[in-house]
């Protein structure tokens, strides 16, 4: 590559030449004087002493030249001190890069976590929106039902049990058609009684209970590979108003013996000196305990009322009357018949002296 003479640092070159000449001259003069005086350094011969001084003078010239060059020339400063400085800067930059990489990794992890939380929040929002929509639909249904109730038109409420029946397994399988016919007739009789008692209308006003082909097919599918005793429950899928037919829903359950006929369900000593109201509370508490116990043992409660049986009001207060006035009485509650999973729990209540 061609050089332009103007690019050289002539002032530096001239300075170095002058310094070198000066140092060389001084060294030469000293060498001659020492040689003439035959001075000996470190017990060397004068001739060797002169040689040592000459060498030291050369070294001094080189060092002085380097110092001047370093002071006045930037590129030489970089060449002399640059490697260590660059190595230190490189180490600092490497540490900085590692720190930034760690920060980037943390930020990436935070971003992934934030994206996951955002996705979770979106899913929760979707679920909440679905729940809100369902609640709105239920609210509208309840409003409609309330309006119908105010008008006195609702005769059956959603989930109310219309009838139930047991179904025994035979060698030829289950007679599903007969069971559905029996439970439909029982439901129709229940509706007739309820309408006559509550609305004072004749039986012609009772709604018609319809079992759809889809419902029948679902029951047959549930009993396809089944064996043993089963129970059917027919319930209303929605509120039913006067004049509206019912598309009944049939639930199928396993049925087993829970209480045998005559089995003691509860026996409790009582203080006959208690007041009539206290006796009623004691009997009511005993019946509630039997209800809870029967449910815990597997008796299916009424889906609408949550009870497993009922006691006529007149019978209830007849028993309360027997409880009052005994010195030391005992109340024994027994199963009136064999009680299966589907219930109901019918009882005999005996009151006597302890």
pLDDT (tens digit per residue) in 247-287 = 888 888 888 999 999 999 988 888 767 788 888 888 888 88
State the pLDDT confidence band at 240, using cuts at 50, 70 and 90: confident
pLDDT (tens digit per residue) in 145-163 = 555 554 456 777 888 888 8
pLDDT at 15: 67
Residue 133 lies in a domain: no
Residue 118 lies in a domain: no
Backbone φ and ψ for 57, nearest 5 degrees, come out as -65, -40
For the chain, the average pLDDT equals: 78
pLDDT (tens digit per residue) in 298-307 = 988 888 778 8
For residue 344, the 8-state DSSP code is -
Contact criterion met (CB below 8 Å) for 323 and 352: no
In the predicted structure, residue 31 carries a pLDDT above the cut 90: no
Residue 227 lies in a domain: yes
pLDDT (tens digit per residue) in 130-145 = 888 888 887 776 666 5
Last residue of a domain, one of 50, 72, 94: 72
Residue 230 sits in the same domain as residue 264: no
- Bridge partners of residue 350, in order along the sequence: 332
Last residue of a domain, one of 72, 99, 114: 72
Contact criterion met (CB below 8 Å) for 239 and 232: no
Last residue of a domain, one of 201, 235, 255: 255
Strands of the chain, DSSP E: 154-156, 161-167, 209-210, 230-235, 240-241, 246-247, 249-254, 257-259, 264-271, 328-335, 339-340, 347-353
Residue 242 sits in the same domain as residue 215: yes
Residue 115 lies in a domain: no
Residue 199 sits in the same domain as residue 164: yes
- Which domain range does residue 306 map to? 258-353
pLDDT at 274: 79
Residue 229 sits in the same domain as residue 265: no
Contact criterion met (CB below 8 Å) for 16 and 71: no
pLDDT (tens digit per residue) in 49-82 = 767 777 777 777 667 777 776 676 666 656 556 5
Averaged pLDDT, 90-112: 83
SS3 for 254-300 is: ECCEEECCCCEEEEEEEECCCCHHHHHHHHHHHHHHHHHHHHHHCCC
* Domain tally, the chain: 3
State the pLDDT confidence band at 338, using cuts at 50, 70 and 90: very high
Contact criterion met (CB below 8 Å) for 265 and 297: no
What's this model's pTM, rounded to 2 decimal places? 0.51
Averaged pLDDT, 168-177: 82
In the predicted structure, residue 22 carries a pLDDT above the cut 80: no
pLDDT (tens digit per residue) in 319-337 = 888 888 777 788 899 999 9
- Bridge partners of residue 266, in order along the sequence: 333
Residue 314 lies in a domain: yes
Residue 13 lies in a domain: yes
State the pLDDT confidence band at 46, using cuts at 50, 70 and 90: low
Residue 275 sits in the same domain as residue 204: no
CA angle 127, 128, 129 (to 5 degrees): 90
Tokens encoding 46: 């004068």
Q: Give the distance between the most distant pair of CA atoms in the chain.
A: 158
């Amino acid at each position: 590559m061609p050089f332009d003479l103007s690019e050289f640092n002539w002032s530096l070159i001239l300075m170095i030449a002058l310094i070198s000449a000066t140092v060389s001259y001084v060294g030469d003069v000293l060498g001659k004087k020492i040689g003439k005086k035959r001075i000996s350094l470190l017990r060397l011969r004068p001739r060797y002493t002169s040689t040592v001084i000459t060498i030291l003078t050369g070294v001094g010239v080189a060092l002085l030249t380097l110092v001047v060059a370093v002071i006045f020339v930037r590129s030489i400063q970089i060449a002399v001190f640059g490697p260590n400085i660059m190595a230190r800067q490189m180490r600092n930059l490497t540490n900085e890069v590692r720190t930034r990489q760690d920060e980037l990794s943390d930020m990436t992890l935070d971003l992934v976590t934030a994206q996951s939380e955002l996705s979770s929040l979106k899913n929760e929002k979707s679920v909440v929106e679905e729940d809100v929509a369902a609640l709105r639909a239920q609210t509208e249904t309840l409003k409609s039902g309330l309006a119908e109730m105010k008008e006195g038109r609702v005769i059956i409420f959603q989930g109310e049990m219309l009838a139930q029946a047991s179904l025994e397994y035979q060698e030829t399988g289950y007679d599903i058609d007969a069971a559905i016919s029996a439970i439909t007739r029982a439901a129709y009789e229940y509706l007739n009684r309820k309408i006559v008692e509550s609305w004072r209308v004749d039986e012609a006003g009772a709604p018609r209970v319809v079992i759809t082909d889809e419902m029948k097919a679902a029951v047959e599918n549930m009993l396809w590979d089944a064996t043993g005793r089963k129970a059917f429950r027919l319930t209303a899928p929605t509120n039913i108003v006067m004049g509206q037919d019912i598309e009944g829903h049939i639930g199928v359950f396993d049925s087993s013996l829970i209480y045998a006929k005559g089995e003691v369900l509860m026996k409790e000593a009582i203080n006959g000196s208690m007041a009539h109201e206290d006796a009623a509370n004691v009997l009511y508490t005993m019946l509630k305990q039997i209800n809870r116990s029967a449910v815990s043992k597997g008796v299916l409660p009424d889906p609408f009322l949550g009870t497993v049986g009922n006691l006529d009001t007149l019978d209830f207060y007849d028993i309360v009357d027997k409880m009052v006035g005994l010195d030391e009485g005992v109340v024994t509650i027994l199963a009136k018949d064999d009680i299966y999973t589907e219930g109901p729990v019918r009882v005999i209540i005996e009151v006597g002296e302890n």
